[in-house]
Amino acid sequence: MCEWVEEKDSDGNCLKTKKYKGKYYASIIPGNVKDQLERLENMEVRDDDTFVLSYPKSGTHWVFTIASMLRTGKSSYSGSPHFLDYNEIDLLDNLPSPRLLASHLTFDQLPRQVREGKGKVLLITRNPKDVAVSYHIFMTKLNAPDYKGSWEGFLRFYSEGRMLYGSWFDAFFDWENTKATYKGDNILYLIYEDMKQDLLANVTKIAAFLCETYDKSFLEEVTDRSTFKTMVKTVMEEIKPSDQDYIHQMSDDKKLPIYRKGEVGDWKNHFTVAQNEIFDKIYQEKMKNTNCTFRFE
């Protein structure tokens, strides 16, 4: 079954990706999306597994870095996460414990054993305007055929849910619905803007959730090492050779396209007044039945 599709935005720029059940997925998913999701459904999960789950550009690597420091007891960069989406199951099965895995899938697409309460999940969401800006910049820097369109063309794709991993709104509603209906105690729900506002409190909360006990000085050290200013400066200094090769393969400018500004409100430097008004109308209509509010600056 061929899942490859090409979609063109209003400027004629092409999004080359995979489409399954109406949703777009990254082209680097091995084989067909359907088969990968079926393999993940039956994946063997360990009690000490940790999963970082988010829509793209919502703080995946940030939370991964924090969780990795807390899991290892070392306040140093430990490389890029292994993604459930992009790796063969055999590779994931052979990783040493404790495994720290990431994904842009929704909670209902995680392995069945996770949904039954095994392992721990850090589920993070972020305001959609900053996500859009970060997502577009990330995509245009990638050394991949997925999408090289303009900001205007991207924003239309994004607003229509035609970008990789579908609509931000659908991902948020999955986050909200899981929080409201899932009865397990193996998920910690995080909001990007809350972490920016009080990182130490959230680092402390993540440590407690992972059942990792550290003194205040170590938690403060992790917090200091996890600020965007520090990460941008130190990640490239501490990065492993294998990750360096990976970055050179994935990025057009040979630089890490993961950590950028990490600011709340950077969208104001990119959205025009007209674009903001249009997106606000979409946001207000989509979010009219939710009690969750986001900080946009």
Q: What confidence tens digit (pLDDT) does each residue in 40-94 have?
A: 999 999 999 999 999 999 999 999 999 999 999 999 887 788 999 999 999 999 9
In this predicted structure, what is the pLDDT of residue 138?
A: 87
Q: Which amino acid is residue 259, in one-letter code?
A: Y
Mean pLDDT of the chain, nearest integer: 89
Predicted confidence band of residue 198 (pLDDT cuts 50, 70, 90) = very high
pLDDT tens digit string along 241-284? 555 554 544 555 545 555 566 789 999 999 999 999 999 999 99
In this predicted structure, what is the pLDDT of residue 239?
A: 56
Query: Of the listed 61, 104, 136, 270, which one is catalytic?
Result: 104
In this predicted structure, what is the pLDDT of residue 47?
A: 97
Q: Could you state, in order of their start, the residue ranges of all structural domains in the chain?
A: 45-287
Reply yes or no on whether 82 is catalytic. no
CATH domain 45-287 topology: Rossmann fold (3.40.50)
CB-based contact 48:189 (threshold 8 Å) = no
Lowest mean pLDDT among 3-12, 64-73, 154-163: 3-12
| Rounded percentage of the chain residues whose pLDDT exceeds 90 | 72
Element (H, E) at 280: helix 273-286
pLDDT tens digit string along 169-180? 999 999 999 999
141 vs 32, residue with greater confidence: 32
In this predicted structure, what is the pLDDT of residue 106?
A: 96
- The residue-averaged pLDDT of 168-191 equals 96
pLDDT tens digit string along 214-228? 999 999 999 999 988
Residue 285: half-sphere exposure toward Cβ, Cα within 13 Å: 7
In this predicted structure, what is the pLDDT of residue 33?
A: 95
CB-based contact 294:193 (threshold 8 Å) = yes
In this predicted structure, what is the pLDDT of residue 248?
A: 45
Asked if the model's pLDDT at residue 6 lies above 90, the reply is no
pLDDT tens digit string along 96-136? 999 999 999 999 999 999 999 999 999 999 999 999 999 99
Q: Closest Cα partner for 40 from 85, 91, 100?
A: 85
Using a 10 angstrom Cβ sphere, with 0-12 exposed, 13-18 middle and 19 or more buried, the burial of residue 97 is exposed
Give the torsion sign (CA, 91, 83, 76, 175): negative
Contact residues for 31 (Cβ-Cβ < 8 A; gap 6+): none
